[in-house]
Amino acid sequence: MRILVVEDDAGIASGLRTNLQQRGYAVDVCDGVAAAWSALRAERFDAVLLDLGLADGDGSELLQRLRLSPAADSPLQTALPDPATPVLIVTARDQVHERIAGLDQGADDYLAKPFDVDELDARLRALLRRAAGRASPTIRYGEIEVDPAARTVRRQGRPVEMSPREFSVLLVLLQARGRVLSRAQIEEGLYSWDAAIESNAVEVHIHHLRRKLGATCIQTMRGVGYFMPQESL
């Protein structure tokens, strides 16, 4: 899961980056409205953590611009930015009217600074779950059961060991089930800008996932990418 942190306080930004990376997220940081808008137009993010008081403007401008951008016409179309990208406002402005304004402008949730990182992570998981259209915290797919919060996978009730990257690939494909994702789209969910990408990493992770979860769980569409069928085979 890839998160964009929009925060102009370098200390808070680096703390968020470290904490979220330890929890398995790919994290990119922007310090202002303009930089964040460029990032959202260039890459797909699963959620945005948005500070309101930014050096070059107010975070709510970015939120409004994002919500007004056109929706993708086709599920295969990668029109960016996605206006439905979940946004969690994280700010020192904790006045009730500020919170209401933020939620009215289309924020999905609101957290006042200073905040507890465990609470932030829990809210982030809830946002990602809602964004994927699921109310239940566990994802069931045939004989596979995935718990995104605990980052555990079971197959026929038995725990399956996997690396954090394998888990991320599985989650990206599972949340997009029924849709074909290119290798680049899968990589976007795995790496932040500054991370080195190994050229055949996605293929290797998928090879391991098939070995652990069954050969048919992830399908290849030659020359296009990978997908998990809507219903497990």
Which residue's entry shows tokens 């999905």?
A: 108
Least separation in angstroms between residue 93's CB and Ca ion is 9
Which secondary structure element, helix H or strand E, spans residue 227, and what is its range?
strand 225-227
Whether residue 139 contacts residue 145, with contact meaning beta carbons closer than 8 Å, is answered with yes
Least separation in angstroms between residue 11's CB and Ca ion is 11
Which residue's entry shows tokens 């609470």?
A: 119
Q: Tell me whether residue 9 or residue 145 sits nearer to Ca ion (CB atom).
A: 9
Give the phi and the psi of residue 192 in degrees, each rounded to 5: -90, 175
Least separation in angstroms between residue 10's CB and Ca ion is 10
Nearest position to Ca ion, beta carbon: 53
Q: How far apart are the first and last CA of the chain?
A: 25
Whether residue 123 contacts residue 88, with contact meaning beta carbons closer than 8 Å, is answered with yes
Least separation in angstroms between residue 58's CB and Ca ion is 10
Least separation in angstroms between residue 98's CB and Ca ion is 13
Least separation in angstroms between residue 193's CB and Ca ion is 21
Q: Tell me whether residue 55 or residue 79 sits nearer to Ca ion (CB atom).
A: 55
DSSP 136: S
Give the phi and the psi of residue 215 in degrees, each rounded to 5: -65, -25
Q: Tell me whether residue 33 or residue 202 sits nearer to Ca ion (CB atom).
A: 33
Whether residue 38 contacts residue 14, with contact meaning beta carbons closer than 8 Å, is answered with no
Give the phi and the psi of residue 108 in degrees, each rounded to 5: -90, -25
Contact set with Ca ion (CB under 5 A): 8, 51, 53
Q: Tell me whether residue 93 or residue 210 sits nearer to Ca ion (CB atom).
A: 93
Whether residue 225 contacts residue 185, with contact meaning beta carbons closer than 8 Å, is answered with yes
Least separation in angstroms between residue 217's CB and Ca ion is 43
Question: How many CA atoms lie within 13 Å of 5's alpha carbon, on the beta-carbon side?
Answer: 25
Q: Tell me whether residue 10 or residue 195 sits nearer to Ca ion (CB atom).
A: 10
Q: Which two tokens stand for residue 39?
A: 């990032």
Q: Tell me whether residue 8 or residue 82 sits nearer to Ca ion (CB atom).
A: 8
What's the gap between Cα 123 and its chain centre?
A: 13
Q: Tell me whether residue 52 or residue 128 sits nearer to Ca ion (CB atom).
A: 52
